[in-house]
Amino acid sequence: MEIEEIIATCSHPKVASAAVLSIGGAFRSRMALLAAASNVDVGEFVAARVSEFAETVDSCDRQGLRRAMARHPMPVLGGLQLIVEAALDDEGGRAWRDLGECQVR
């Protein structure tokens, strides 16, 4: 349910922007730099990454991401950060897939 919450809420720029502010730190700084380089605001940049994830997520992603989020003190914000960081991985890696029963080979 939390993954669906991230997709439903953080695909909207204003919500995504507020979530990035809540996460803060290096993540917030990185999103600000990347958004500026793309000539959009942080909310638009992050919301676009969440929307892209929503279009490609499969059951293996859901299963592994759920497990990764369960380890985080703030699961929804942690899940958002994982989704965005995976989208920015040059190789398109989703490290959480290894946490599910579906293994990347």
- Residues contacting residue 51 through CB under 8 Å, at least 6 positions apart: 11
Q: Which residues contact 56 (CB under 8 A, 6 or more apart)?
A: none
Looking at residue 93, what is its pLDDT?
A: 59
Position 80 scores a pLDDT of: 95
CA–centroid distance for 37 within its chain: 19
Write phi, then psi, for 15 (nearest 5 degrees). -70, -45
In angstroms, the CA 13 to CA 98 distance is 30
| Residue with the larger pLDDT of the pair 1 and 95 | 1
Count of CB atoms situated within 10 Å of the CB of 70: 12
What does the pLDDT look like over 34-87, one tens digit per residue?
999 999 999 999 999 999 999 988 888 888 889 889 988 999 999 999 999 888
pTM of the model: 0.86
Checking if the pLDDT of 105 tops 50, the result is: no
Residue ranges per structural domain of the chain: 2-99
Is residue 94 within 8 Å of 61, Cβ to Cβ?
Answer: yes
